[in-house]
Amino acid sequence: MTTYLTLIVLTFLTATRAYSQASCPDIIVASFQIITDPVNSCLKKITVDFINPTNGAKSIGVKVNCGTDLVLTECHDASAQQGVRRNFVTGQFVCCNLNSLKIEIAAYTGNSTCLGTPCIQKFSIAGSPLPVYFKSFNASRKGSSVNLNWVTGFEQNNRGFDIERQSGTGSWQSLGFIGSSAAGGNSTTDISYSYVDANSAAGITNYRIKQTDLDGKVKYSEVRSVQGDNDNARTLTLYPNPATNGQVTIVFKEATAIYDVSLMDVTGRVLKQWNQTKGNSLNITNLVPGFYNLRVLSRETGKQVVEKFVVSH
């Protein structure tokens, strides 16, 4: 008999995107299973469900390590069939010890070959469980307040969340604590949380969520950035400029708006594109020294903004 093992042990990895695109395949985390061969228990494969919110070319990449050995790397074409829940199964790989497994799954939009930057943050399934899967986390300014909203895909032994704020490059400050809404700290369904911060700061403010489980273990969400209260007329803020580490962050005025973003060199040649981008910020990494133009088009208003920036040595 084939053995199906569902692991509720996901942890977020560092990703180059601070949000998911509206067109990105939605990976159904609760459907994840490791299938063990009925004859040889060291042989395994992975299955997971996903749904496309839009049509078009899309793909899902899977990488599996057993200890320090890479035992599987695959790319699955996930194109088209908008709104249909589908499933894919990987090929078999060898790993005798489940505690040695590390599985990374990432989704891509705009191509069917897993090229470029994932449009959704990578997540991993590993032998050491962490209690909460952050499905989304957004921050948006409304006048002199900032609204924070996050959704957990599941929770396991979760005590709750500390909301933390950083002004500029200052130290992180705790704003308050919200307890888990899951019964006993355990849930396998989506749960939404929100927090409103009275913030009239003039510059960029960063936010993160510190999650604590019932045993005192801690993990952090990714950082979200918002513009200052005096920047309301601006479509976006780009920082740092000049950049010294090959990385810049774009902070959008409206977290719920949809943008098309193009990165160009000084000749106007398009280097990278992010279509149907939705979220309050976008990180661009691995930039070589030089001069760049960034073009941002609002899908809602048709307004286009071009910002210049420099990456120095």
**Are the C-beta atoms of residues 263 and 292 closer than 8 Å to each other?**
yes
The CB density around residue 127, as the number of other CB atoms within 10 Å, is: 12
* CB neighbour class for 284 (10 Å; exposed up to 12, middle 13-18, buried from 19): buried
- Give the model's confidence band at 231: pLDDT under 50 very low, under 70 low, under 90 confident, else very high: low
Question: Percent of the chain having pLDDT more than 90?
Answer: 19
> Using omega within 30 degrees of 0 as the cis cutoff, is the peptide bond preceding 242 cis?
yes
CB 133: neighbour CB atoms within 10 A? 21
Confidence of residue 4 (pLDDT cuts 50, 70, 90): very low
C-alpha–C-alpha distance, residues 264 and 271, integer Å: 5
Per-residue pLDDT, 13: 32
Side-chain half-sphere exposure of 98, counting CA atoms within 13 A: 17
pTM summary value: 0.50
CA 266 to chain centre: 30
Q: What is the mean pLDDT of residues 99-124?
A: 77
Q: What pLDDT, in 10s, does the model give residues 279-299?
A: 777 878 888 999 999 988 887
Please name each of the domains of the chain with its CATH number: 3-126 (2.70.50.60), 132-226 (2.60.40.10), 234-311 (2.60.40.3080)
Using CA of residue 113, residue 118, residue 120, residue 123, what is the dihedral sign?
positive
Task: Render pLDDT for 131-177 as a digit per residue (tens, 0 to 9).
Answer: 677 878 888 888 888 999 999 877 888 999 999 999 876 789 999 99
Q: Is 3 a residue whose pLDDT tops 70?
A: no
pLDDT of residue 123: 58
What does the pLDDT read at residue 173? 92
Q: Measured between alpha carbons, how far is residue 53 from residues 25, 32, 78, 84, 298 in Å?
A: 7, 19, 12, 9, 20
Alpha helices in 56-156 (DSSP H): none
Q: pLDDT band for position 234 (50/70/90)? A: low
Distance CA 27, CA 12 (A): 14
pLDDT confidence band for 201 (50 / 70 / 90): confident
**Which one is predicted more confidently, 30 or 134?**
134
